[in-house]
Structure 1
Amino acid sequence: MDAIVALHQRVSQSRLTAPAPDSIQLDLLMRSAARAADHGNLQPWRFLIIEGEGLIRLGQLFARVAAAKKPDITQAELDRFTAMPLRAPMIIVAIAKCQPHPKVPEIEQVIAAGAATQNILTASFALGLGAIWRSGEMAYDDTVRQAMGLSNNESLKEQILGFIYIGTPDADARPARQINPKDFFSTWTGE
């Protein structure tokens, strides 16, 4: 698929089924992430790939965290948290990996990790895969961060940017929403 077509037509797809990306597709996704804009060539990102039993364990983690936050949680709510990771055959956890740098502030590193994540989404669409970037309370929870082995010290501060649910689309992609770029582009003359 042409790059411009992929950029103009990409949509998030939430209805996903097996198969997950194969090894060749996954390699292409990883290579796409690595081409993100990156001030200082710090590669301030990393990704965790979760599938199979890992998805079940992730759902159990989500349910434990939810129960700890809400002692009177219902079984239906627990079941919802347990099932969340099972909405796709693979999840790629996008992580910003920020380190102290004299010329590249943390915000630029987070933005670069977001760009790498967006590259995965666009490459997924170009390959005929379905993907959606989800976040929510579990992405920002310290217990989830610790369970996934994220660092949080002076030399390396990591944060989850979100969960990329990825697989085979279970339905035709809806057409991309039409937008008018002039709604968010303008000219500044400095006068």
Structure 2
Amino acid sequence: MKLGIVTGIPGVGKTTVLNTIKEILYKENIKFLIMNYGDYMLKTAIEMKYVKNRDEMRKLPLNIQRELQLEAAKNIHKDASSLSEGLSFLDTHAVIRTPGGYLPGLPKHIIEILQPQVIFLIESEPELILKRQEADKTRARSDYSDPNVIKETMDFARLAAMSSAVLVGASVKVIKNIEGDPSIAATQIIRSLM
């Protein structure tokens, strides 16, 4: 199993980069799986009647978020392991900003289940992230609407990613998402995981 964890603050362009990865790997006839941690958590959270939508999850008490993280990690590892050859990518956050503080997205008990080879940090300038957030009317991200908060969150994400990587012997790679050409970031991610 080759698993790359693709992280980044909301609005940095993870979904766009992952969609580009999907297009590239499909054209090259390489088996792949792209998973979204939030989708796995949301499915459980809705089933347990904790939330009605994804953006409400960041506001849940930390103990409930931890419970959802653990259940998601087990299901993600199961799905990634079912892909005997090829590449698996997990779209998630290295940290989640909550009212109770920064919650590690990949704490010890989670990263040890996932066992990634690489943790990718997709980054852009805070002002560019704000611009992307404003253009995306499908999400509510007012808790990331300040450039200083974006910068602080990216700093915490770097620290969290390295801390998680140490626990499983993974590498950490910072990827700049260049405006207008997500194929640059996508190609760097693919090459690093192969």
TM-score band, normalised by shorter chain = under 0.3
Give the structure-2-normalised TM-score. Answer: 0.27
Q: Larger helix proportion, structure 1 or 2?
A: 2
Give the structure-1-normalised TM-score. Answer: 0.27
